[in-house]
Each structure stands twice: as C-alpha cells, then as structure tokens.
Structure 1
Amino acid sequence: MTANRRTFLKVMASAGGGLMLGFSWSEAEALAGAPGAFNAYLSIAADGVVSILSPNPEVGQGIKTSFPMIVAEELDVDWKQVRVIQAALDTKNFERQVAGGSGSIRHSWQRLRKAGATARRMLIDAAAKRWQVPASECTTENGFVRHNSKKLSYGELADEAARLPVPAEVPLKDRKDFRLIRQQVKNIDNPAILTGKPLFGIDFYREGMLFAMIQRPAAFGLKIKSVDAAAAKAMPGIVDVVTFKNNVAIVGKSTWQVKKAREAVKIEYEKEAPLESTADHNRILKTLLDSPEATVRRKDGDPDAAFRTAAKVVRAEYQCPFLPHNPLEPMNFFAHVRPDGVELVGSTQTPELARNETAKLLGIPPEKVTVTLTRMGGGFGRRLKADYVLEAAELSSLIKAPVKVIWTREDDMTGGSYRPAVRYRFEAALDAGNNLVGYRLRGAGFNVGNSTREDNFPSGAVDNLLIDSVDQKSPITTGPWRAPITNFLAFAEQAFLDEVAAAAGKDPVRFRLDLLEKAKAKPVGAIKYDIDRMKAVIQLAAEKSGWGKKKGQGFSVYFSHNSYVAQVAEVVATKEGPSLKKVVAAVDCGVVVNQSGARQQVIGSVVDGFGHAMFGNLTFRDGAPEQKNFNTYRLIRMNEIPEVEVHFVDNGIDPTGLGEPALPPTGGSVANAIFAATGKRLRQQPFLEELKEATF
C-alpha cells in the first residue's frame, strides 16, 4: 500500500490546455501520454481551477471534502479554486472504492499528498524555466509561483508544466507548515444539499424508466405459495407484476401507483424455516453461554486456576437486541439491463461488490457492468450489501426495461440485514490485593461468527485470560452495523470493567491506567493496541471533563478502526429518571484533515451511540419485526441530544479512522454515568427498558 515513483505519471494536456497529473491508488504502472491508464487524476485548467476525481463513495463521512483538501494543501492552491468530481466504479484504475471500515483517508493520505506535491514541483520547474532562475529560489502560495517580485498563476503555467518530466521524488510539506489541513472547511456538497439539487440515489431519474416496489415475505422463514395479482394489474399506471425468487415486484409509471397496486396483490405464504420470536432469541442466547461448543479466540495463562484461587469473583451478563440501520434515504437502485451490458446507478458503499454480484447473477463478464455512484443519504453498513442492487438488476432483465426499485420506510425497517442480537458473559478474578488476575469473556450471537474482539484491551494486561464465542444460525438476516460488533461489545466491556473496579475499590480511570501500565511493563501475549495512545486519550478526557470533581460522571475508552476514543458522560438524576447532559470526548485519530467534518463525525457518533443504546429495540413475533416505522421504533429526539465537547490529540501521526470509533465507547460512558448518578447498573439495551423498572 505504499506509493512510489511509478505512482505519479504525467499524462497529456487536455484539449483546452492545462496540466493533468494522474495519481494511482494501486501499484499499477502506466505510460506517459495514456490518460486512460490512470486510477485518478489531479488536473489544473488554464483558468487555474484544480479538479480531483474522487473514487470513494460519499456516505456523509465528508470524503469529497477531505480528499481535495489534502491535495490542495500540498499543491499550495487557494481552496476556492478546488473542486472534486465523483468517479464511477473503475476497478482497473482505482483501488478500494469502498465506504466502510473508516479507512478511506488512512488508505489515501500519502498518495493524495504526493499528487499535490508533484504538481506543485512541476509548476515551479515551469516557472523557473521561463524566468531562467533556479527552481530552488521559487516559492508558491495560493495558486501562484513567485520569484522576488515576479509571480505567475498556476493556470498560466499549466501548459508548460505538462510538457516537463515528472520528478521521481518530491518533498512533502512539514506538517507545521500546513495552512489548510486542520482548518474548518464546509462540506463541498452543502450548497447542493440545501438547495435540493439531485445528489442522492433516490433523486435519480431518467426519461422512460419504470418504477417498482417489491413485496417481500412478511416474516423471516416464509416462502411464497401463491400470488393473485389480477386486481393490481388492472390498476392505472401498472405495467406488470413479476414474481421472482421469493419476491413479488409491482412495476409501473410512478411510485404512488406501484405503492397502491402493491396493496392489492394477494400473496399466500408457507413456512420453510422456524418463525422466531424475541422470547426465542433470549432463551437461545442464554443457552449458548453454557454451550460446550464454544470456539476459543484467545487464551493466556491458566484461567481456570486463577478463578479457583481467586479471593473475589465478579460476574455479569450483557445483552443487546437486533437493530435496523434506518438511514434517512431508504434503499433504492436503478438498473438497465441491455443486450450489450448493464448500467447501474445509485447509492452503494461497495460498488465493486454490486458490479460483481450483478455479473454473477446475469451470467455476464463484470466488464459489461457499469456502476455510477451517487451521494448516499446514510448507510451505517446497510449499503455494504448488494441485495437491493440485485433486485433492480434482476427485475430489469425480466421486464426488458430500465427500472428503479424503491423501498419504503417499512420495507427498509423490515427487510433484514440487522445488527445481530448478542449476549456476553464476563467473569473477573481478583486476588487478595484486589488485583485483576483472571478474565473470561464468552460471546453468543446470531449469524455473527466471532462476536468478540479478542485482542482488544484488557487482553495483554491480564495474566490469565480466556475469550471464546458461540454462533447461532437464524433465518433473520444480519449484517454490519456502524462499528460492527464493537457497537455493543464496547459498552459491555467498559461497563463490566467499572464493576470490577468497584469490586476492587479503585477509581475507574486509575484502574484502567494501572492495567495499561502493567501491559506495558509486563505484556501477556500479543498486544494489538497502542498503549501510549490509549493512555493519552484517557488522560485528556479525564483532564478536560474534570474527572472526579463532579457527580454523575461515567468513563469509557475504546480502540477500534485504528483510533482511540475516551469519553466522560455527565448524568443528572431527576424524578423522571437520569438525564444525559454532556459528553466529553478525547479522540486520537492521527492528523485531523478537516476540523469541521471531524468534529461532526464525533458528535454524530456520540448521538448515534447514545440514541441506540438508550432507545433502539427491534423485536420479533413469529418471524416478523414488530416495529415497522418510526411511530413504533424509538429514535433519539432533538431535546434528548446532549452537549458534546470534542478534543483531538495532535500527535503528528498519519490519519487513522474516524467515521466509527467514537460510537463504541458511548454506551459504556453513559451507563457508567447513570450508575454514578442513580446507583442503577445497566446490563441490557435499550437502557430505557431497564430504567422503566427502576425508581429514583
């Protein structure tokens, strides 16, 4: 994943004149003068406008703003002269066209910097050649090359720069000289969003396309037995009713017409798998925690001996429900299957998966499928899957026409791919000196595989440790949900560590710092996290929150997606129950490219983490979700959002993840603060259900 001199190659000047500098996201080689061979490009037009073709899907994480900021910084250009163009899927010339795992900036940081720095060097060389002065005497600033009193704009130099050799190596800016990076920059799509421009997949429209809605089984475990679509086919605007796979698609000329016609279709189902209810899930999860079939994920020392000889043992179990993703924009996609190829347009976090799965479905080469990316109105992991893309592609192939499949909110909430329900059992062994000498964790979940993160803290800090997991297959479909696994595991781990600290008679922050010191001085097994980075965010959060000086404070710290976040929540007890007033977050995600976007990512993660931990609950009866829209599915409300104070650690390392890392620790900090304020331990989500039974 390292860039080298082959990564930056000059390509031909555009017809209107100007410099176009390709920069690769892979190690692919290309020849100068062959623009089609490049993965992405930086261009400087004759009017001085700088453009960057951005390959990564924009899901609200701000990548379309941050990417060009990095190029503009090294290029030394006025930000007002920079624009970004969303690229379509191009697996020959792009690498990692994915919005997921909080990895876009981490992957592209060096490549983008070198692209900007290389262009800047070529512009300097062009100016030096024109002025007949040493290039070392020239400087740049805001899109101009200067030498004493002389200056030339980048636009004036673009043609000449395009004819010069591309330098093999270029110096990058010293980070103390950054002028744009670390500043607050507004999202470049804001004007279009605020004025209602068609940016999102659901906005896409093409003359002559049809609309479709699909009736899927009302419960997981059912299959179609018979379909009576006569009444629907006779309704205005309806073109066809098509049964495929386990679906019935109503196709027509408008969304309203197909929605009304769908209500007229009569479908009879029969059972093909158990129709599970939430009561079944609770029973199964509890049983799995006693299963002899667990898969060992990590074992250090002799845990059994540590628990046999322990002076004190702390035990607790934690459980979370299934959760839908609920992005503001429901699933939708456009597909046009033609004899010569397939065109796909819409919102996807994984365009390559969409292309490959479509090709496999239709039995054609992937090269015959094009994917045009739109901005996404949220995803949170739901759009990592391609099921809704395949629905559109298969339907288009059946009706021989371009079609856009649109899900309603009810479709979106009941259509599956949920965060899996999981239950954890924790045990801690303390010796006579109240030191943590043994630790056991078992995770049990549905369709999740490994429900643990066995190498995360406190692994490496406990002499005797056992972490294992058990998985249960279910007809209820599951998938990644923002900060997969850790979105709930972090709450459980951090709430349990507070219980252990209390049993040991130690301050929760000091307890964690002592464990980290032990891991550093005498590590047990592999250490997969950075001890010093974790300590730094703990200390910063404690300092900024005035830890220990206020009532109702709760602490949490977590490492995920290569970043570290510590939080202190402040809860006030009222007659109506606990009220979250403030969360102080300390974040180490390396260099912060855009202060504005980064701060919003942290605030959004805290709100998301708190809202779902407090209220989110999807239950089932006979295989069917009981919550189908926001009137029955509880989301956080505006007046319940706390103040969020964000502090970034500036340690100078390259950027790491940020879209997800601030969510996992939120549930733990809030639960621990609620205990501090009320004395009530919370071990199940949503917290609201447990708090209903408490008195304050």
Structure 2
Amino acid sequence: MNTTTYNRRSFFKVSAVAGGGILFGFNMLTAQKTEAGVAEVLADANQINGYIQIDSKGIVTIMSANPEVGQNVKTSMPMIVAEELDVAWKNVIVKQAPLDTKNFVRQVAGGSQSLRFSWKALRTAGATARQMLINAAAQKWGISPSECTTNEGVIRNSKGQTVTYGEIAAEAVKMEVPKDVPLKNPKDFKIIGKNTTNVDIKAITTGKPLFGLDYKREGMLYAVALRPPAFGQTLASFDDKETRKVNGVKDVIKFGNKIAVLATSTWAAIKGQKALKATWTGDTKAESTEEHDKKMLAFLDTPSSAPKRNDGDVKTAFANADKVLERTFHGPFMPHNSMEPMNFFANVTADKAELVGPTQRPEETRKQVATLLGMKEDQVSVEMTRIGGGFGRRLMWDFALEAAEISKLAKKPVQLVFTREDDMTAGLYRPATKYKFRVAIKDKKVTAYHLTGTGINGQNFVRETFFPAGAFENLLMESHNVESKITTAPWRAPITNFLAFAEQAFFDEVAREIGADPVQFRLDLFEQARVNAQKGMKFDYDVDKSIGVIKLAAEKSNWGKAEKGVYQGFSAYYSHNTYVAEVAEVVMQNNQPVIKRIVCAIDCGIVVNPVAAINQSEGGVIDGIGHAMFGDFSFVDGKPQANNFNKFRLIRMSEVPKVEIHFVPSLNDPTGLGEPTLPPVGAAIANAIFAATGKRLYSFPFAKELGMQGS
C-alpha cells in the first residue's frame, strides 16, 4: 500500500474531455513514445500539462516532464506508469511536456537519479488512475470495487461483465481520488523488466526533428558567437567590416565580453564569425596547466584546517607503521564533447521570453534567464527538446543566457549555435584534480588511511561517506581548492570519475604490497566495515551489496583463472546509489597492451527496461575506457590546446572491447545507472595493464604514459 496526501486539485486535476475521455494530471517524469496519432488524441484535450489522458478508444497519452538526454527516461518512465495503470504498452503514446513547476517535480536530468526519485510517484499515479476507473465501473454495475479486476485496459467483474478504460473514463472523472491505493507486487510486473524499444528510435533513425539543432521558427536568425580565445581575457575592440560582407549575415552585435554574428543560415554565421577581427587583453599566465599543477601539488602537502573526515588516531598509526606507502595521481581537465554541440532558441520580446532547446535543468535555466532579462519567472517559458548528449554540460545554462541576450538585443527570434571549436574551447570542463594516498602498514595489515584531494573550482574533491570510509578505524580525508578563471562544470559521474580510478588503482598496489589477492583484499575491507558499523561508524554504502557485486564480477570473469596471455585487473566502486564491480582483461600485442574484455557486475535495484539498462551500462564503460586511455586536455596561458577531434583523441570503434553486463537480481527500488559504470573502469584497466607490463599508471591518459603509437 502507498498512502497519498494529494487532493483532487493538487494531485490529479481531473477534467472531462470531448468524446468521453479523461485527463489524469500528476507529478511525474516521463516522455514521448511516438507522434503517430498524438494530434488526433490530443485534439479535444482541455489541458496539455502534467497528465495521463485516456480517450474514448482507450488510448493512453502520458506527458513527459523530464529531459531526455539519452538515458531512456522517455521509455522507462512511461513503462512504470503503464505497469500500475495496467494498460497494454501498445496503447500508450508519450509526449514531451514543457517546463511546468505547478504540475511536475524535479524536471532535471542529472545525477542518474530520475528513476530513483520518481519511482514511487509514478507507480502511485498509475495505480490511483486505475483505481478511479475501477471505482467508476463498480458504481455503474452496483457492486463493490473489490469484485473488479483489470487487464490491459479492460475492467472485468465477478459476473464476467467487462468495460474498457475508454468506455468508463467519462464516469471516472466524477469519482473521488482515493487516498490509499494498492501497488503491485514487483513479482507481478508484466511491463517492467521486459525489453522495450526506445519510443523515439524510429524518429531518431529517420532524421525527424527531435533535437535542439532541429528547431526552426519563421523569421528566426542563426547566431554564432566569438568568445575570448583564452580564459581571463577581455574584449578591447573588434572590426566587423569583412563579416558584414558575408552573404547572409544580417547583423553583428556586441554582448558582454563577446560578439554575435546573426545570419540566415549557420554556414553564413560561421563564415562571419571567422571573418571577425578582434583584439583581446588580459594576463592569462596563471591559467596554464603548469601553474595549476604547481598550486595543486603544494596543497597535497598542506594539512587542512577542516578535514572532511577524521576517524581514530591517524597520526599515531603512521608513527608506529612498519612501512608507509604513498602515491600521487593526476587527472586532467576534460571537455564534455556531446555529439550535439551547445545550442538554444530564444525569442525575447518586451513582455515575455520563449526558450526552446536541449537543457538538463530547465527550471534553473528559466530562473537565470528571468534574472538576466529583469523579468518574472512566469514571463519566461522553457520548452525541452531531446538532447544529443549532455554528460553534465547541459546542467549549466550559459548557452541559453547567451541566446536570450542576443535575441533581446537583436529584437528577433534567434537560435544560438556553437561550432565544435566553440564547444571545445569556450565550454565548461571537468576540473583538473590531484590525489595523494598514504597508508600505514604494520604486520602486513593496513592500520591507517590518508587521502588528500585537490582540484580546480570545487568545494569537495573527496567522498568522505563512500568506501573506504568505515573500513579503517584510523582514516583521514582532506580536500583543497584552487581557484581559476577557467570555467568548470559537472562531468559524467562528477569527482568520482577520476577519484575511483586513483583509489582503486592504489588499493591494487596496497594489496600486492601486503601479499593479498586484490579481490580478497577488498572483501576483507568490507567485512571490517561491517564490524565497524556495528560499533557505530557511519557511512553511506551497503556492505552486503558491495560484497555481492564483487563476488559476481569475480565469478563471471573467472577471476584468477584466466587463460595464458590474458591479464586481469579488478576494480569496484559505489556511486549514484549503485554498486559496480569490473574486471578488465588485457593481452599484449606488438609489445602494447590491448583491452579485450570488460566484465561488469551491477546492483541497481529493479531493472525497469533491461535492453536500455544494458545500453546505458555499456555506454558508461566505453566512455570510461576512452577517456582513461586517451583523454588529454590542457591550457597554455589560458588557451585550450585542442579545439577539435583532430587534437582531442576519442576511443575508436576498433578499440572497443567486448563488454559483458551482469545485473544482480533484485526487487529493491531502482537506483542510478547512467553514470555508475564509468568510475571503476579506469582502475580495472590500469590494474590489468600492470599485471601485463609491470608498469603502474598514475595519470590520464594511459596511452600517453605508455608511449603508445597513435595516442
């Protein structure tokens, strides 16, 4: 049972529609199945915000509130509603909703939390709608609702009489919204847990206009901006004579510290941008990677006045150690490089602003634009398009602000478009980080653990409630920050994307130092965490789930029993409420290590849509391999040293190994999945490469450290 506290107005906003349909509006996060028949179904709807609609034919339309960034919420979340509503999936249509804080909650795509946060709300919404339909049918038949059952949109009573959802919908609108609704036992799920095709797959593969770059409006101009070539520079002057000669260029506008070229096509705008001559001033020497490295290294040796965690007596444990093992790891800046570069449409008039585009955080985008324009938030509308990749970059709103400001100055509707060079050089980056690990070893046991993290523009570069917190009685974690004018932002699995590599690679080295098997070493640490938890020590992860994925990965990879010439490396990490363990297998070819297989075990609760979950998990692994092996980005005097893929190396199809995904069977509520498989893979690879070559890796990219050809 799930108790609701929603009343008729705040939860359902039920209203009749022409043809005997019904609208069930509720707070949810879903998306769009197909455009086929949507216009016909919605034609007579009284409200197209926050609802389930059932038309007289029994077709169910579910509005999507959450941004679709490739994480498959446009399929998985409607599946949850359809499951509890008990409707046939073939009769469901899903349509994207605009930003609407009155009807929806948490319209955000970030932190791999969409399913986790919406799970019970979506189930309750579907189940409550189903109960209202049952109640209406029972009233019609003059029987108790308990005598009715449902199956795929049909209600049946104990006498064998039936009525479809569409036929009873107009009566259901008159029913009171029940406060207590039964939810299905997960063992009875018929839709959840079944492979279901992405609802947008046909539109994507046939080139239908789904993405921000596809959006067009009558009279719209395309804008491309010229921004400072180095972080910390200011625009002194510019010459736009040659730009204005470009066929199709309509205007050149200075806005803030940038210049916008407006044209009738993206090509004309790009040509106009390249023809601009600008003079920039400002001392940018402090914004070089070399300078950042010096500052971060200095902090690694600087005690923090406010440690993030300080358990036991670390100082004494180190003083009494037989040996101290210390290692430092270095992580570079990293661009997001979404397949779809940043873009946004804006139409700003005197009394309102219309925004359309790919955003992971529409509500915050609206707030920022309203502040910029001096408008009230209800004067700003945000319509979401499908997002061609985000990885955290589109959690920010700078590109929407630029579009709004340009539109206001131009007094025209504008679509701002970043070129790939703009996207890579004027973006927001994963902050560069460094970590120093120290352990005290006595009698071949680790008696103390000390981690110091430092990075660019961040508040906390450690995770003090994650493993190994709880595994050591003496533990110290410290974090420092280096300020920079280089803009930074969340990057897929923020902080943990590099911290997991550093930690798990270091643990492998510690295990070998004390003569322990790397897998058994971790299992023993989790058992110690269990003991320490009983003593009152607090941490966020679940010991049993951690042990479960480690054992599953070891079993599926045949850990320690690989055939001759195959070298294995292990890693395990908890993030986004999900547990992942991975084994990498490497072989040597032409004296260079080649990754042949990744075995990945995951505990993420109930898997709503297995085929999508596998895709997400494989994608995270491959993304993690590519950036660990090849990702390298640096600055000289504030200027990015790569502006396109000819200088920024991505993983190639021929380099992608076999990836095996294994889910721990579970009936627990779902947790994150878009990000958790990325953090552990770097260490699994590094540890396998050590097994193959005897060389320890302490920095991204590995190919550079290994001197690999074509790196």
TM range (shorter): over 0.9
490, 493, 508: which is aligned to 1:498? 508
- What are the equivalent positions in structure 2 for 1:129-144 lying under 5 Å apart? 129-144=139-154
Decide whether aligned partners of structure 1 residues 462 and 5 sit closer, same or farther in structure 2, where only a CA change above 3 A counts: same
Q: CA RMSD in A?
A: 1.9
Correspondence 1:547-558 to 2 at 5 A: 547-550=559-562, 551-558=566-573
CA–CA distance in structure 2, aligned partners of residues 222 and 599 of structure 1? 45
CA distance in 1, matches of 2:481, 2:3: 37
Equivalent position of 1:30 in the other structure: none
TM-score w.r.t. the length of structure 1 is: 0.95
| 1:293, distance to aligned residue in structure 2 (A) | 5.1
In 2 relative to 1, CA 89–12 (structure 1 residues): closer, same or farther, beyond 3 Å?
A: same
Is 1:606 the counterpart of 2:616? The answer is no
Asked whether 1:322 is paired with 2:333, we answer yes
Map 1:233-244 → 2, pairs under 5 A:
233-244=244-255
**Which position in structure 2 is the counterpart of 1:447?**
457
| Residue of structure 2 equivalent to 1:29 | none
Provide the C-alpha distance between the structure 1 equivalents of 2:143 and 2:344, rounded to a whole number of angstroms: 56
Instruction: Name the CA shift for 1:693/1:176 in 2 (closer, same or farther; >3 Å).
Output: closer
Corresponding position of 1:654:
669
Q: CA deviation at 1:146?
A: 2.2
Question: Which residue type is aligned with residue 652 of structure 2?
Answer: R
Cα-to-partner distance string for 1:73-128 (whole Å, 9 max, x where unaligned):
11111101011111111122221111101111111111111111112222222333
- Mapped to 1, the partners of 2:178 and 2:708 lie a distance apart of 69
| Aligned with residue 618 of structure 1, among 622, 629, 633 | 633
Match of 1:146 in 2: 156
Worse-matched range after superposition: 412-421 or 228-237? 228-237
**Does the aligned pair in 2 maintain the 1:37–1:93 contact within 8 Å?**
no
Partner of 2:23: 20
2:548 to 536, 552, 576: 536
Letter in 2 for 1:191: K
- Is the CA contact 1:586–1:647 (under 8 Å) kept in the aligned structure 2? yes
Equivalent in the alignment of 1:684: 699
Give me the whole-angstrom Cα distance separating, in 2, the residues matched to 1:342 and 1:489.
Answer: 41
SS at match of 1:443: strand
Partner of 2:14: 11
Aligned 8 A contact 2:326 2:438 in 1: yes
Greater alpha carbon shift after TM alignment, 381-390 vs 523-532: 523-532
User: Which residue of the partner structure matches residue 54 of structure 2?
Assistant: 44
Matched, 1:165 2:182: no
Moved more, 5-14 or 447-456: 5-14
**More displaced, 268-277 or 649-658?**
268-277
- Match runs of 1:285-296 below 5 Å: 285-292=296-303, 295-296=306-307
Asked if 2 retains the 8 angstrom alpha-carbon contact of 1:23 and 1:38, the reply is no
Structure 2 residue runs without a partner (length 5+)? 30-44
Gaps spanning 5+ residues in structure 1: where? 27-34
State the alpha-carbon separation in 1 of the partners of residues 388 and 708 from structure 2: 37
> Which aligned pairs between 1:472-487 and structure 2 lie closer than 5 A?
472-487=482-497
Deviation, structure 1 residue 156: 1.7
Answer yes or no: is the 8 Å Cα contact 2:429–2:489 preserved in 1.
yes
Counterpart of 2:18, as a letter, is: A
Structure 1 4/23 Cα, relative in aligned 2: closer, same or farther at 3 Å?
Answer: same
SS in 1 for 2:309: strand
Q: Residues of 1 paired with 2:3 and 2:112: CA distance?
A: 19
Q: In structure 2, what is the equivalent of residue 84 of structure 1?
A: 94
1:101 aligns with one of 111, 119, 143: 111
C-alpha separation in 2, matches of 1:320 and 1:294:
24
| Residue of structure 2 aligned with 1:208, choices 208, 219, 224 | 219
* CA deviation after TM superposition for structure 1 residue 693, in Å: 7.3
Alignment of 1:355-394 (within 5 A): 355-394=366-405
Shift of 1:465: 0.9
Cα 1:274/1:235, change in 2 over 3 Å: same
Measured after TM superposition, the shift of residue 642 of structure 1 is 1.2
Structure 1 residues 576, 295: CA separation in 2 closer, same or farther (over 3 Å shift)? farther
Is the contact between residue 304 and residue 478 of structure 2 (CA under 8 Å) also seen in structure 1?
Answer: no
Report the secondary structure of 1:569's partner residue: strand
Q: Offset of 1:449 from its aligned partner?
A: 2.1
- Contact 2:284–2:637 (8 Å) recurs in 1: no
Q: Is 376-385 or 546-555 further displaced after alignment? A: 546-555
**How big is the shift at 1:348?**
0.5
Whichever residue aligns with residue 19 of structure 2, its letter is G
Shift of 1:21: 1.6
Structure 2 residue corresponding to 1:568, chosen from 563, 567, 583: 583
Superimposed CA distance per residue, residues 289-343 of structure 1 (whole angstroms, 9 cap, x where no aligned partner): 1234564111011111101101122111111111000000000001111112000
Moved more, 517-526 or 220-229: 517-526
Provide the secondary structure at the position in 2 that maps to 1:40.
coil
Using the TM superposition, give the Cα deviation of residue 668 of structure 1 relative to its aligned residue in structure 2, in angstroms: 1.2
| 1:140 partner SS | strand
Distance 1:300 1:271 in 2: 46
Task: Confirm or deny: 8 A CA contact 1:24 1:38 kept in the other structure.
Answer: no
Amino acid at match of 1:398: L
Structure 2 residue 261 is the aligned partner of structure 1 residue 261: no
1:618 deviates by 0.8
Task: Tell me how far apart the structure 2 counterparts of residues 185 and 45 of structure 1 sit (CA, whole Å).
Answer: 24
Matched, 1:110 2:82: no
Structure 2 Cα separation of the partners of residues 117 and 673 of structure 1: 49
Shift of 1:622: 2.0
Per-residue deviation, 1:10: 5.5
What is the aligned residue count? 685
- Work out the CA distance in 2 between the residues paired with 1:255 and 1:635: 26
Asked if structure 2 preserves the Cα contact closer than 8 Å seen for 1:294 and 1:470, the reply is no
* Contact persistence 2:49–2:63 (CA under 8 A): no
Please name the residue that 1:664 is paired with.
679
- The corresponding residue for 2:41 is none
Q: CA distance change for structure 1 residues 2 and 300 in 2, over 3 Å: closer, same or farther? A: farther
Equivalent of 1:513, from 508, 516, 523? 523
Q: Any conservation in 2 of the 1:102–1:561 contact (CA below 8 Å)?
A: yes
Q: Is the 8 A contact 2:292 2:482 kept in 1?
A: no
TM normalised by structure 2 equals 0.93
Residues 596, 367 of structure 1: CA spacing in aligned structure 2 closer, same or farther, 3 A cutoff? Answer: same
CA contact (8 A) 1:3 1:111 kept: no
1:585: how far off?
Answer: 1.0
Q: In the alignment, does 2:270 pair up with 1:270?
A: no
Cα distance in 2, alignment partners of residues 692 and 552 from structure 1: 20
The CA deviation at 1:38 is 10
Contact 2:99/2:362 (8 A) holds in 1: yes
Structure 2 counterpart SS, 1:677: helix
* AA at the equivalent of 2:87: V
Of the structure 1 ranges 599-608 and 218-227, higher mean CA displacement relative to structure 2 is found in 218-227
**SS state of the match for residue 13, structure 1?**
strand
For the residue of structure 1 that corresponds to 2:454, the secondary structure is strand
Native 8 Å contact 2:66 2:73 kept in 1 = yes
Partner of 2:168, secondary structure, is helix
CA contact (8 A) 2:261 2:273 kept: yes
Letter in 1 for 2:502: A
The alpha carbon displacement at 1:272 in A equals 4.5
Structure 1: distance between partners of 2:466 and 2:117: 22
